[in-house]
Structure 1
């Protein structure tokens, strides 16, 4: 899990993600920085995703619900939390293979700051693609106060070190 790769005497390049050999089963990575959800984030992605439910962008409607205000669209929450994990966990990924057991456990509101952490659940060589392997992680998204808002498992295909990615 290195952040820099030496390319010359006193010269380095920033690296992202990990090769298959660098993943450690059971390791937990806390993703930073956190991200405060803005009204713009919520409105743009709500409209982009064609989710027309007024609870996500109509303040008057939101005031009349059990939440008493606009609720951040779950697609926004998922996108932010999943995105937080990319830099460290999957920036070298060849392909995402799937998301499983997605659970939205508490509501998110405009102004909430989200954080994430991922645990490596499984690592194995690919049976059909030599030089590559499959990693399975569990990611947990939470608010600044620790309230868990999202959990899921994700699997992705990762190259081994020194393997041609084509």
Structure 2
């Protein structure tokens, strides 16, 4: 399993995820249509020419989902019991068709679960960054993470 267990996360650790993704018009159109977000700002090129950006914006919830997918590979793949919540989600810069997104994750805290013996909660800060080094998404997330299995914990001691 490539994901890390609760004990393996250290506060202050930073992950510069290797996976990058160029966002396409098809991504934006499909996601917006699948989620019934029919805002012309995402779908209508002629309408968008008259907006402050002069072009269509990529749906911000697609970007948030992309952040979750990219960061999972190095951090929580197979070792998470689920997301407990996102907070302080910000989109300081827009994303346009053709932008390439990379993700940085920082572990900002952790604690043992109060209700489960097999897990703990890890607090992450995720930032999506475009090819111009602009932060396009910044959020905090809490993940319920499995603790090391007994045999792995014994081997680590």
TM-score if structure 1 supplies the norm length? 0.87
| Equivalent residue, structure 1, for 2:123 | 136
Uncovered stretches (5+) of structure 1, i.e. residues with no partner: 1-14
How many residues are aligned here?
149
- Give, in whole Å, the separation in 2 of the partners of 1:120 and 1:33: 18
| Equivalent residue, structure 2, for 1:121 | 108
- Give, in whole Å, the separation in 1 of the partners of 2:143 and 2:84: 5
- Give, in whole Å, the separation in 2 of the partners of 1:53 and 1:131: 43
Which protein is richer in strand relative to its size?
A: 1
TM-score if structure 2 supplies the norm length? 0.92
Which protein is richer in helix relative to its size?
A: 2
Question: Which secondary structure state, in structure 2, belongs to the residue aligned with residue 17 of structure 1?
Answer: coil
- Give, in whole Å, the separation in 2 of the partners of 1:95 and 1:78: 16
| Equivalent residue, structure 2, for 1:51 | 37
- Give, in whole Å, the separation in 2 of the partners of 1:100 and 1:20: 20
Question: Which secondary structure state, in structure 1, belongs to the residue aligned with residue 73 of structure 2?
Answer: helix
| Equivalent residue, structure 2, for 1:3 | none
| Equivalent residue, structure 1, for 2:8 | 22
Cα RMSD over matched residues?
Answer: 1.0
Question: Which secondary structure state, in structure 2, belongs to the residue aligned with residue 101 of structure 1?
Answer: strand
Shift in Å, 1:124: 1.2
- Give, in whole Å, the separation in 2 of the partners of 1:44 and 1:50: 10
Which one of the candidate residues 82, 100, 106 is aligned to 2:68? 82
- Give, in whole Å, the separation in 1 of the partners of 2:6 and 2:116: 13
Q: Residues 34-73 of structure 1: matches in 2 within 5 Å?
A: 34-73=20-59
More RCO (CA 8 Å, sep 6+): 2
| Equivalent residue, structure 2, for 1:156 | 143
Question: Which secondary structure state, in structure 1, belongs to the residue aligned with residue 69 of structure 2?
Answer: helix
- Give, in whole Å, the separation in 2 of the partners of 1:95 and 1:81: 15
Question: Which secondary structure state, in structure 2, belongs to the residue aligned with residue 108 of structure 1?
Answer: coil
Residue deviations 1:14-61 (CA, integer Å, cap 9, x gap):
x22111111011000011211000011000000111111011011111
